[in-house]
Amino acid sequence: MEHKLWGGRFAAPTSETMRLYNDSFRFDGRLFDADISGSIAWAGALEEAGLISAEECETLIQGLELVRREFADGNFVALEGDEDIHTAVERRLRELVGDAALKLHTGRSRNDQVATDMRLFCIAAARQISEHLLALQLALLDQAEAHAATLMPGYTHLQRAQPITFGHWCLAYVEMYERDRQRLGDAVRRARILPLGAGALAGNSLGIERERLTEALDEFDAVSGNSLDAVSDRDFVAELLFVFALCGVHLSRLAEDLVLYSSSEFGFVELDDAYSTGSSLMPQKKNPDSMELLRGKSGRLIGNLVTLLTVLKGLPMTYNKDMQEDKEPLFDSLDTLNLGLQVAAAAVATMMPQPARMAAALDDAMLATDLADALVRRGVPFREAHGKVGRLVRRTLELRVGLRHLPLEEYQAVQPDLDENIYGIYDFAQSVARKDSSGGTAPERVREQCARWRELLDEEG
């Protein structure tokens, strides 16, 4: 039985190579759930418009649910002529319910059908990724709560800068991933525009009440305002790919930190064996491959975004077959990020911070700003204080001693009114405690941030 959705005007069959090039079921088959949900809603709309009977509508819905179950259970058998998910579903539906299936496509084009499928899929994908981001945030929050006062060096330019706490470092990534979740929410809001009923490009003339379709498909808030834009718009896919790519960049930054921090040179954390690998030659090696893969796979996510933008950049109105190329980049990014976030959350949850190694990496030079601040509190303009402390740092390099071991006369050479009390500056815990501005690294502030995030994230969970 022929089951193409087109072909009446063609005198010759599609060539085998063209069929292989054109067919998309091998990858768009995963849209089955969205496609069937859209078709069930469409069947209802056809009945309301008087285009099919109530009995036919019920037959179609029951048949579509049977097809959905076959897909979900892995029992759906694809045939060679299944050009895409739409063709496959309609072909199987006809096998199950007979000629009533031939009425399902009335007034509908694959153009508005696939646009609807993709929006439904993107909404579900965004929800899935948001859940995994939340799990990663909670893993970081657990570490932050346990290490709100654990001292470690903070870095700029990968050079030791000022002391912070490990909990504060963890919370920086909690903030970062929260922005990713917010961007996902923004993308979903713009994806909740229903294109179904726009037809091939010009709308439909069969009395379909499109607004009623949003009641059957409650993921949508409104119908598209222009039928041309409805079938040609893939902004929502590009936007989601951008969010996925940026999330990948943020995962890469976390991974880079943990690759460094788990090295012998740093030793700030130890990754669990379950998220590390060994060497085929060197028996002593423990490699942070989970983090390196997170770092490396960010390139796929960025590349998939560029792929889609390149596809879209020169397309004329409205639908073009080029748009078939929106699916594989989206699916690949979803699968890559989905698994990567799960690995990241588990690796963070099981990693073992090493407070002693963090503390050992602190040095007096990291308190130079504290010393400048002490001079400011004595009335010295900051720019002068900065220069004076810089001269003291230069003397430590010349004398090969730390700031706390620099003789008092060296301090008095740059600021005569200093006395022995100046050495009280050299307390890393006190330095961190002084950074008590809102959002600062003081343990008191870190605990406040943890409490705020615990309340917010537990509500989300």
Over the stretch 157-201, which tens digit does the pLDDT of each residue have? 999 999 999 999 999 999 999 999 999 999 999 999 999 999 999
For residue 15, the 8-state DSSP code is: P
pLDDT higher for 27 or 3?
27
Predicted pLDDT at 231: 98
Kindly report, residue by residue over 406-460, the tens digit of the pLDDT. 999 999 999 999 999 999 999 999 999 999 999 999 999 999 999 999 999 999 8
CATH number for region 111-208+225-360:
1.20.200.10
Task: Assess contact for 340 and 294: CB atoms under 8 A.
Answer: yes
pLDDT digits (tens, 9 = 90+) for 351-376: 999 999 999 999 999 999 999 999 99
Burial profile 125-134: b = 16 or more Cβ within 10 angstroms, e = fewer:
bbeebbebbb
Interval 110-143: pLDDT, tens: 999 999 999 999 999 999 999 999 999 999 999 9
- When the pLDDT of each residue in the chain is averaged and rounded to a whole number, the result is 96
Does this chain's domain 16-106 share its CATH topology with 364-460? no
For residue 414, CA distances in Å to 378, 384, 408, 425 come to 13, 10, 10, 17
Known catalytic residues? 157, 279
Residues 6+ apart with CB under 8 A from 164: 151, 152, 153, 154, 432, 435, 441
Mean pLDDT of the region 57-81: 97
CATH of domain 364-460: 1.10.40.30
Q: What is the pLDDT of residue 7?
A: 67
Lowest mean pLDDT among 14-28, 178-192, 218-232, 391-405: 14-28
pLDDT at residue 1 tops 70: no
pLDDT at residue 3, rounded to an integer = 63
What residues form DSSP beta bridges with 153? 163
pLDDT higher than 60, residue 78: yes
CB 112 within 8 A of CB 414: no
CA distances from 259 to 80, 136, 188, 293, 330 (A): 48, 17, 33, 11, 28
Question: 331-340 burial by CB neighbour count: b if 16+ within 10 A, else e?
Answer: bbbbebbeeb
Taking the CA atoms of residue 244, residue 247, residue 248 and residue 252 in that order, the dihedral angle to the nearest 10 degrees is 180
DSSP notation for 251-317: HHHHHHHHHHHTSTTT-SEE--GGG-B--SS-TT--B-HHHHHHHHHHHHHHHHHHHHHHHHTTPPS
pLDDT tens by residue, 233-292: 999 999 999 999 999 999 999 999 999 999 999 999 999 999 999 999 999 999 999 999
Residue with the bigger pLDDT between 124 and 18: it is 124
Residue 70 is given by DSSP the state: H
Domain ranges of the chain: 16-106, 111-208+225-360, 364-460
Residue 2 has pLDDT above 80, yes or no: no
Its pTM stands at: 0.95
pLDDT tens per residue, range 300-328: 999 999 999 999 999 999 999 999 999 99
Q: Which architecture characterizes domain 16-106 according to CATH? A: Orthogonal Bundle (1.10)
